[in-house]
Amino acid sequence: MKSKPEAFDYTAYKPFLFWFGFCALIWITFLLYAGGFTTSIRAGMAFLDWPLSNGSINPEGWLENEDMMAEHSHRLLGAVMGLLSVALCVTAYAQKASPRIRKLGIWLVILVVTQGLLGGLRVKLDALNLDIDHNLYAQTFAVAHGTLAQIFLCLLVAFTVMNSKSWIQRKAGFTVAPSSSVGFFGLIACLTIILQLIIGAVMRHSYAGLAITSFPYSHPDGYWIPPAFNFKVAIHFAHRVGGIVVSIAIIAFTMKIWRESQSRKALGKSAIALIALLGVQIYLGAMVIWTVRNPHVATFHMLNGAFLLSICWMMTLRSLKFRLEAPHLFERAPETDAPLGALEKTGHA
């Protein structure tokens, strides 16, 4: 006799699962800062072994040495993040969350394990502590490690948002389905931010943060475009150009939200926060140059970029709520606001 398929109540809000995900987001903030600061002070090779540090989980003298403290703190925070990811996945199954939430939990575990392996390979491929500028393999894994951290962050944001009461019981703050172009503009903005973060990771791990020593000009003599290029100057200049592209994409996204009444009502406050974070990001980028790459300023610039991506992705995901939960309603959804009830009738006609 065949067993009945497991039923899921998609309208059941599970507060523990949401708050657990929210706490994991707080934890990853410290992890991102620790990883960014380790890169900023070039302490990624403070220990030449992995997964232990000098053969121990509590290496001697690590609290007295800045490089060792930065790298070992990063490793410990990452290990706890791995345990939290496993716990989130197990909790999703234990609380009989929807299949989508369970899949997100599985992917959290896959990505956090992959992330740890990438960090370990970065050490193993540079075990002799060679100059990473000339160690392409180690540099590649270091950049991949930094980039995957942002992808993992987006997945964790999705897990938390989709477990929120707003998503489950309040249609993510929308009373009617937003136009599909809102989600499209949001996805474009998220994509540009991710590409910018990749360029930034290459720049940071190439130690090209001061390849151009003036801002906003690209040369002390007032040139907007550097008069001479090498790899470090090129990747630094690409990061500045990328900042302009990201700014345009974010402003276009927020303008699209503001022009649509329902989107403005649901995402207006988040849009204001997104623009504020963009302004902070530009200022921190300038401060990196003006403070001659102060490690804390450089790290906050990286961290704020992660916040920028998180908020933009959260807004985009919320705008896609109707498409993700009921795609048949969106097949005939008009670009203008329409009552949800009308859409439901259309979808079931």
pLDDT in tens, 264-293: 999 999 999 999 999 999 999 999 999 999
The pLDDT of residue 324 is 83
The whole-model pTM stands at: 0.86
- Please check whether residue 339 lies inside any domain of the structure: no
237-241, 325-329, 334-338: least confidently modelled range: 334-338
Same domain flag for 192 and 318: yes
For the chain, the first-to-last Cα distance in angstroms comes to: 36
268-277, 319-328, 332-341: least confidently modelled range: 332-341
- Please check whether residue 264 lies inside any domain of the structure: yes
Same domain flag for 174 and 217: yes
Tell me the two tokens of residue 349. Answer: 């006609």
- SS3 (DSSP) at 340: helix
Neighbours of 138 (CB within 10 A): 22
The answer to whether the beta carbons of residues 305 and 280 sit under 8 Å apart is no
Same domain flag for 121 and 175: no
Tell me which residue range forms the domain holding 86: 15-163
C-alpha–C-alpha distance, residues 76 and 71, integer Å: 9
Same domain flag for 155 and 206: no
Domain total of the chain: 2
- Please check whether residue 335 lies inside any domain of the structure: no
The pLDDT of residue 1 is 47
Nearest-5° Cα angle at 8, 7 to 10: 150
Kindly tell me if the per-residue pLDDT of 344 is higher than 50.
no
Question: Which of 104, 128, 163 finishes a domain?
Answer: 163
Question: Which of 146, 163, 180 finishes a domain?
Answer: 163
pLDDT band at 333 (very low <50, low <70, confident <90, very high): very low
pLDDT band at 303 (very low <50, low <70, confident <90, very high): very high
Rg (CA), the chain: 22
- Please check whether residue 211 lies inside any domain of the structure: yes
pLDDT band at 124 (very low <50, low <70, confident <90, very high): confident
Q: How far is CA 176 from the centre of its chain?
A: 28
Same domain flag for 173 and 149: no
pLDDT band at 179 (very low <50, low <70, confident <90, very high): confident
Same domain flag for 207 and 311: yes
C-alpha–C-alpha distance, residues 271 and 260, integer Å: 13
pLDDT band at 206 (very low <50, low <70, confident <90, very high): confident
Kindly tell me if the per-residue pLDDT of 109 is higher than 50.
yes
- Please check whether residue 341 lies inside any domain of the structure: no
The pLDDT of residue 326 is 62
The pLDDT of residue 11 is 67
